[in-house]
Amino acid sequence: MSFHPNEMQRRARLASALLFLAFVFLVGSFFRTQVLQHAQYVLQSEENRLREVPLPAPRGVIYDRHGQIIAENLPGYSVSLLAPGVDSLRAALRRLAGTIPMSPEQINQAIRRFRRAPNRPAVIFPDASFDVVSVLEEHRVEFPGLIIQSAPKRYYPDGPAMAAFIGYTGEVNEAELGSANFKGYKAGQQVGKDGLERQYEHLLRGREGTRFVEVDARGRVVREAGARQDLLPEAAPPLYTNIDLDLQKFVVALFGDSLIGGIVAMEPNTGAVLALHSAPTFDPNRFIGGIPADYWRALNEDSRRPLYNKAIKGAYAPGSIWKLATAVMAIQAGVVSLDDQMPVACTGGYQYGNRRFKCWEKKGHGQVNLAQAIEVSCDVYFYQLGLKIGLSRLVAGGVELGARERSGIDLPSETRSSFPSTPATDYYNRRFGARGWSNAVSLNLAIGQGENAQTVVNMARFYTALATDGQAAQPRIVRGEAQRERMFQLNDEQMDGVKKALAGVVQRGTAAASQIRGVMLAGKTGTAQNAHDPLRDHAWFVGFAPANDAKIVVAVMLEFGGHGTRAARIASKIIEHYLGVQTTQVINTEGE
């Protein structure tokens, strides 16, 4: 009975119904995938076929105070490869190496870059020469994943003159990518590595653009334009600095290649940094896009340590320039006035306990008051003043004057100056043991020796307070609002007296050879002993001019430079150049 027509009809209806249900199920499934989940799959399909090629944004141009360019961008080329996986990238690189010579290190680096960001094209030559680009363009067909594009390249027109503060740019590294400061950065991007480039990275970076290229399943570029509208990169706005390019170049020329040291020139009222230099210098342009190994080695092997920033990183015993700190805290505390003399006259030395502390002037200065002691930098006077102030006030006063602080200059990695902490006895007990030291440390501290190491920029900051009204200005390279902080409080008469004493240093005292015709220069020399080379002292001079209405403060430190008078001559030339007096005028009149 199984093939009776009625039976057949029944089964046919059942079979048809099942078929219908099966197809409804299939159509329903397609409806879900194609209509309901459409957006999600469109996205996936776009991700499949589009590769984002980053278009680096030009970094912000950096200007000096008169609108001259300090840092700009030059057109350059970068070469990268799109690859679906490490293996195919390696294979492509191997083939590429047959066309363009590549070191194994370059190949490995490209693979490392790819591993960090597999969705971006792996950069092979971040800064390809025109020769490389033209060879690759010729062989383009052989390398379907190859992407050649223009990439702005950082350039410093006066490179070596800017080395101390400009920094350089380079590819963001692993450690940076992991840090919170570089959130949102992607491997392969160029970032500021030091100096202003690093400090103002957030302002200078601009916004990276994106070019979309279409690739097939094997990662071959099948369409370069029109796949999707490119997102154009946005250049960063320019950055205006306080630097006086003309003065900066003058300073650098003055130091030349023979002097070693650091210099900071700033406006005392605003803190604007006019010039900042560390000698000997190097060329930051050569650091862009990877530092050549031989250049790096040469810089590191140079005993003058060109990479060690002597203006903001090096901390040196301040020597006699610190005597002003001692003097200011004594006057402020009412211990002495500028006219007061000390009980013991200077005979070239001072007996304290069983030890004789020498004055730099073996013949002795005789009986001097404070103002005269500053002029001639009499150690014996300051030994006694130190004792009179007392150790704890000497230390607390130094701390008050910022001796344990950074100047706050807008540059990364400024060294914090070092000085004993308060309370002083605890500090010395910790340092030398309870019986390892005596009150004699006060004598050293008072003349800027002992446990005291200051950066050049921090001393410049301290002297802005001396040059004005006791308020120190925070050094600023980039234009911005002045930040001033009171360091000490003297009345007008006392302030005037201190400035007169400092002017006396140049007129009659230790820096008498550095006078500037027509301008009253004030300042203090320092000749600081150092542990590295007992025979060659560090030479200091910090000064300002005009003495009664300072427009510029200059701090100069010559590493192993001998006597402070040498530093004073440099400083006076810088100030003379900046104020545009004598030299330029004399030359002009002679020329006419």
Partner 1 sequence: MNSARRRIADPTLVGLAMALSLFGIAMVYSAGQTDVPTVVAKLYRTQIAWFILGLGAAYAVSRASVRFLDWLTTPAYAVSIVLLFLLLFIGAGAGTAASTKSWLAIGGVRLGQPSELAKIAVILMLARILASRKVAPRSLMDLWQPALAVAIPWVLIMRQPDLGTGIVFVGIFFAMLFWAGASWQLLVLVASPVVSLILAFSTGLWGAWFLVLIALVLWYRPYLVEGVAVVLANVVTGVVAPVLWDQLNPYQQKRLLVFLDPTTDPQASGYHVIQSQVAIGSGGWLGKGFTLGSQKRLAFLPAQHTDFIFPVVGEELGFIGVTIALSLFLFLLLRSVRIAARSADPFPSLVAFGLASAWFVHILVNVGMTLNLMPITGIPLPFFSYGGSFMLVCWIAVGMLVRISGEGRGPSDMLVI
Q: Which amino acid is at 418?
A: S
Q: Which residues bind to partner 1, rule: CB under 8 A?
A: 1-3, 7-9, 11-12, 15-16, 19-20, 22-23, 26-27, 29-31, 33-35, 37-38, 40-42, 44-45, 48-49, 214-218, 220, 222-223
Per-residue DSSP letter, 32: I
Torsion (CA) 119, 122, 127, 131 in degrees, nearest 10: -120
Residues 6+ apart with CB under 8 A from 360: 320, 377, 379, 527
The nearer residue to partner 1, 30 or 432, going by C-beta atoms, is 30
- Cβ atoms of 509 and 523 within 8 Å: the answer is no
The nearer residue to partner 1, 51 or 211, going by C-beta atoms, is 51
The nearer residue to partner 1, 19 or 586, going by C-beta atoms, is 19
432 token code pair? 């030398």
Do the bridges between strand 349-352 and strand 355-358 make them parallel or antiparallel, or are there none, so unpaired? antiparallel
| Smallest distance from partner 1 to CB 91, Å | 17
Residue appearing with tokens 């030299």: 583
Residue appearing with tokens 């030559």: 125
Crossing angle of the two packed helices 323-332 and 456-467, in degrees rounded to 10: 40
Straight-line distance from the first to the last Cα atom of the chain, in angstroms, rounded to the nearest whole number: 134
Residue 442: other Cβ atoms inside 10 A? 24
Q: Is the bond preceding residue 423 a cis peptide, omega within 30 degrees?
A: yes
33 token code pair? 């995938």
Round to whole Å and give the CA distance between 71 and 200.
Answer: 13
Round to whole Å and give the CA distance between 415 and 309.
Answer: 10
Bridge partners of residue 168, in order along the sequence? none
| Smallest distance from partner 1 to CB 147, Å | 17
| Smallest distance from partner 1 to CB 458, Å | 58
The nearer residue to partner 1, 216 or 257, going by C-beta atoms, is 216
The nearer residue to partner 1, 37 or 351, going by C-beta atoms, is 37
- Cβ atoms of 152 and 206 within 8 Å: the answer is no
| Smallest distance from partner 1 to CB 111, Å | 18
| Smallest distance from partner 1 to CB 225, Å | 14
The nearer residue to partner 1, 25 or 295, going by C-beta atoms, is 25
The nearer residue to partner 1, 7 or 533, going by C-beta atoms, is 7
HSE, CB side, 13 Å, CA atoms: give it for residue 89.
25
317 token code pair? 């015993």
The nearer residue to partner 1, 22 or 482, going by C-beta atoms, is 22
Q: Which amino acid is at 491?
A: N
The nearer residue to partner 1, 14 or 74, going by C-beta atoms, is 14
409 token code pair? 């200059």
CA distances to 22, 23, 31, 37 from 28, in Å: 10, 8, 5, 12
The nearer residue to partner 1, 215 or 275, going by C-beta atoms, is 215
Do the bridges between strand 552-558 and strand 538-545 make them parallel or antiparallel, or are there none, so unpaired? antiparallel
